[in-house]
A and B are shown apart, each in its own frame.
Chain A
Amino acid sequence: MHFTLEDIAPMAVGAAVLGAGGGGDSYLTEGMLTETIKANGPIEILSVDALSPDAAVLPIALVGAPYVVNEMLVGKPMLETVLAYSTEGQGAPAAVVTIEMAGLNALLPLIAASQFGIPIVDADFTGRGVPSLEMTSFRLEGGYPEHQVLADPLGRGVRLTGSQDFSVEMLLRPLVNVMGSLTAYTMYPLRGGQLKDRSLSGTLTHCLEVGRVFQSMPGHTAAEVDEMLGTIAGLRIATGTVAERLPQSEISSSQVAIALEDDDYPERLTRIDTKDEFHLVTRDGELLATVPDLIVLVDSDTWIPLTVEQVGLGQRVTVIALPAHSRWRSARGVQLTGPQAFGYATDYVPFDHKSVQV
C-alpha cells in the first residue's frame, strides 16, 4: 500500500478532525507534502505486523506552539537534524512512525518518510490530538524512550539519553520554549517489537477514512451526514451559533468555555470546555461527551473542521463526537487522558452510550 498525491487532501481533513481542535493547522504541511511526494514519488505504508521485531523505527512529531509553526513553517533542515542526531551515522531507520495522528503532526512524518526515502508505519501513539507527550499509548504501556532528540528550525539539536523516571513533558517543555517554541521531536530508536505492543495500529489508514467521510459531507442533508458519520461511529451532538468565548483561567489563555446558542431552540445552551483541544460538551447541565472521545467542531456551512483558535463569535458550528481508540476508553486509558487528567471534576461519559443526537 502506498500514500500518493491523491491521499494528501483526505489525510489533511482527517488530521484536522482527529486533532479535535488541537494539533495545529494541517494546511501548512499539505503544501510541503505535495512538493515532497511530487519530487520523491509515493510513500510505502507498512503495517505494524510487517515490521521485524528489531527494526529501528523513527517516530516524528512537532513539539511547540502551533502559532510559531504558522509563522516559521517547517524546513528540511529540521527533519535532517532529527535524523542525524538520532542515527549518529548508523544508517537509515527502517521506517518512520507518527507519534500524534492529528493536525500537522499527522502529515509531518509523511514528509519525513518521503524526504528520507523510507516507508511509514500505519500506526501512531495517540489516535487523536493530545496536549502532552505523556498522553501516548507508549506511556500507557509503561514505555520510556532510550534517547530523545529535539531539533529547532535552524538545525540546532539536543539529544537526551536515559530519561527514565523523568516526566517527558517536564523535561522537554522548558527546552522547547528555549528553542523558540518550535522543535521536531523523536524518541529513537523504537523497535518493531515495541511498536506491536505499544502503538495504536491502523491509525494512518483510519485517518484517511475519517478524512474521506468529512470531505464528502458538504452539500448533503443532515440525515445523509448522519448516515455518513455512522460509518465511522460518529454522531452529531449539537449545533448552533457561537455566542461567547469565556476565559476560564488567568494563567492559560487558551482555556476557554465556548457557548453555543441553538439555532432552533435558542433557550438551549451548549457549552464546550476547551484547552488546546475540545474537552467537554455540556447541554443545559448535562454532559454529552468528554475526552478521550474526540469532540470535533466543524463550520456548519462548509463542514471544515476548526481548531480551538478558529472558533469565533457569530460562527455557526456543528459539534460531532467520534469514539477514541478502544485503548483510551479502558479504565487505565481514561485515567491518563480522561476529563480528570485535564483537571475537570467529572467522570468520563461515553457519548455513544447516551441518546444525545441533535
Chain B
Amino acid sequence: MNEQSGKLHLGIACQGGTVQLALVNAAGTLLTSAVLPRMQSFAEDLDGALRDAPRALRAIMIATDSFRDALNGTSQLARVAALRIGGPVSTGVPVLASWPESLIHRISPITEIVNGVTNESGEELVPFDEIAATRFFERCAGLVDAVAISSVFGPLAPDHERRAAAIAADVLGDRMPVTMSHSVAGFGLLDRENAAILSAALTPLAADMLRETDAALARYGLEAEVFLAQNDGTLAVLDLAVATPIRLLEGAAAAGIFGAGLLAGAKNAVVTSDGLARTGVLRDGYVVMTAAPTWVAGARMNVELPVGTGAAAPPHLLASNNGARVSIATNRSSTDALQGAEVAAAFGLTLAPVGATAWIVSERDDSEHFRLLHAEQQVIEMAIIAGADPATVAVSDVDSIGISHSAKRQVRIRATGRPMFVSRADRAAIDPLTSYPLTD
C-alpha cells in the first residue's frame, strides 16, 4: 500500500436508477468519478462499484435509497412483533392505528399493549408487567423475524424498553433483531412506535447489506472502514447503522444535498433539481431536517428527514438562499464550480462527518446548564460509537423548540467529528460499549 492510495475514500451513492462513484484523495480532491446503471440488487451494485476500486482504500462511504424503496414497494417485509409498554393508560389508540392495510399485511404483525407507564418527569407511574411481556414473546416464537418495542416517554426513561428487549432476547434468542423506540426517534409515542416497527421490518434487509458488504470486501481484498449515510447526511459505521435502518431512508438524498453544497462552496443553500423541484436545504453546512411528522409508505412517524426531499433526482441546480438564484447548469463543462454535479451525492459522502443526534426535554431552571452538558457528553459519546475520531468530535449544533403549554423545550443536540479509520477487522475487535461507556 502506498501512502497516497492508503488515504483514498470511495463514495458510493445508490439512488434512483444510478450508482454514483466518487474517488477522493486525502486533500478532498475528486480524482475520478463514474455513474453506473443501478442493478437488481445492492450486492450487484456494490460489486460493480468495488470491482475496479484501488485495493488500498482507507474508507468506503455508502448511501442508498433501497430501504425507502423497500418500504414504498409491495414485497413482503420482516414479520414484526410490536410490543407497546403503556397500559393501562396509553391504550386509546391501538398499535398500527391509521396504517394502510396493505402495509400492515406486509409485516404480518403480532401486537400487544402491556402495562408500564413512565411520566413526563421520568418517574415510573405503573410498573412494567414483565410476565405479560414474556407471555407475548412466547406467543410470537416462530412467527416473527424482528421485534419492535415502544414505551411511554421511552427517550426520557428507556428502562422499560431495555428490560423488554432483554426478555425478547431470552425468549426469542440473541439473534432476533430487537428495535427499541428510543433508539430511533424522539418524543411522540405513536410516531416513534411506528418508526420502530418500520425499522424492525427492514432489519433483515439491513443484515443482508452487512453480509453482502463483508463478502464484497473479502472478495476484493479490501480492508477499508465502511460507513453508511444517515438521514441527515452524516455517517455512521456500517455495523451500527444497519441496526436502525429507518435512520438511513434518505441517506442518499442527504448526501446529495451535502455534496451539492460542497461542490458549490456554499454552506447555506437551497438545493434544487432540474430547476424545479427543491431537493433540500443546507444551513451552516448541515442538511436541514423537518420539524413536522414525516410519512413513509402511508405510515406517519417522527424520524426526521431532510426538508424538501421526495424528489429523488440528483441535484443539478443550486440556488443561494439569499434568493438570487445562481444557475448552475447541468452541463458540467459550463462551470468549474460544479464539476462533478452528477456525482454530488457520492462526492458528499467522502467528505461527510460522522454524526449522532439526540433530543432531550429541558427546562430553564438552575440545573439546565448541567443537564445540557450531560446530554452533550452523551451525544459526543454516541458520535464516537458511530465512528467519529474522538480527537475531532464536538457538539456541532444545538437547536431547540419550545413546548406549547409548558415551560419546557425540546433540545436537539448533534455531535459530529471526522471519521476514524479503523479497518473493519480491527473495529470488530473493539467493543464500543466498553471502550466508550455511555455515562448513564
Contacts and interface: CB of A to CB of B under 8 A. Distances in A.
B307 interface: yes
A71 B188 contact: yes
B403 A309 contact: yes
A71 to B, nearest CB: 5
Given A67-B187, A254-B402, A307-B404, A314 B92 contact: no
Given A64-B405, A312-B307, A250 B364 contact: yes
B402 A131 contact: no
A311 B290 CA distance: 8
A241 B319 CA distance: 13
Contacts of B408: 65, 67, 253
B119 interface: yes
A71 B152 contact: yes
Contacts of A265: 323
Interface string A234-251: 000000010001010011
B404 A180 contact: no
Nearest to B156: A71
Interface in B404-432: 404-410
A22 B322 contact: no
A116 interface: no
Interface in B74-102: 86, 88-94, 97-98
Interface string A261-277: 11101110000000010
B127 to A, nearest CB: 13
A127 interface: no
B310 to A, nearest CB: 8
B48 interface: no
Interface stretch (B56-64, B163-171, B227-235, B281-289): B281-289
A59 interface: no
A75 B94 CA distance: 10
Interface in A289-319: 299, 301, 304, 306-316
Nearest to A76: B92
A66 B405 contact: yes
Nearest to B292: A310
Nearest to B320: A266
A28 to B, nearest CB: 6
Nearest to B291: A312
Contacts of A66: 403-405
Given A67-B403, A72-B89, A73-B86, A253 B98 contact: no
Interface string B117-130: 10110000110000
Interface in B294-320: 300, 307-308, 310
B396 interface: no
A315 B292 contact: yes
A313 B364 contact: no
A65 B404 contact: yes
A309 B401 contact: yes
A209 interface: no
B373 interface: no
Contacts of B300: 27
Interface of chain B, main secondary structure: loop
A153 B93 CA distance: 14
A161 to B, nearest CB: 26
A116 to B, nearest CB: 15
Given A27-B98, A70-B187, A73-B92, A308 B404 contact: yes
Contacts of B117: 72, 153-154
A304 B294 CA distance: 11
A131 B405 contact: yes
A70 B88 contact: no
A72 B97 CA distance: 15
Given A71-B153, A315-B307, A77 B407 contact: no
B103 interface: no
B197 interface: no
B64 to A, nearest CB: 24
A252 interface: yes
B31 interface: no
Nearest to B406: A65
Contacts of A180: 119-120, 125
A66 B187 CA distance: 11
A253 B364 contact: yes
Contact of A253 (B153, B270, B290, B402): B402
Interface in B369-426: 399-410
B190 interface: yes
Interface stretch (A29-37, A82-90, A92-100, A117-125): A29-37
Given A27-B300, A314-B281, A315-B307, A73 B406 contact: no
B49 interface: no
Contact of B92 (A32, A309, A313): A32
Contacts of A335: none
B125 to A, nearest CB: 7
Contacts of A30: 97-98
Contacts of A61: none
A181 interface: yes
Contacts of A252: 402, 407
Contact of A65 (B98, B292, B403): B403
A311 B291 contact: yes
Contacts of A320: none
A160 B260 CA distance: 61
Given A32-B93, A154-B125, A266-B323, A306 B292 contact: yes
Contact of B90 (A27, A72, A309): A72
A77 B91 CA distance: 9
Given A31-B97, A253-B408, A73 B291 contact: no
A70 B291 CA distance: 15
Contact of A71 (B91, B120, B321, B323): B120
Interface of B: 86, 88-94, 97-98, 117, 119-120, 125-126, 152-153, 187-191, 270, 278, 281, 283, 288-293, 300, 307-308, 310, 321-324, 361, 364, 399-410
16 contacts: A25-B188, A28-B190, A35-B94, A65-B404, A67-B188, A131-B405, A154-B125, A154-B126, A180-B125, A181-B120, A241-B270, A251-B364, A254-B402, A255-B402, A263-B323, A301-B310
Given A312-B292, A315-B290, 18 more contacts: A32-B92, A67-B403, A67-B406, A67-B408, A70-B189, A71-B187, A73-B92, A153-B117, A154-B126, A181-B406, A253-B400, A267-B323, A276-B405, A306-B292, A308-B402, A311-B291, A314-B308, A316-B308
Closest 3 CB pairs of A and B: A266-B323, A312-B291, A31-B97
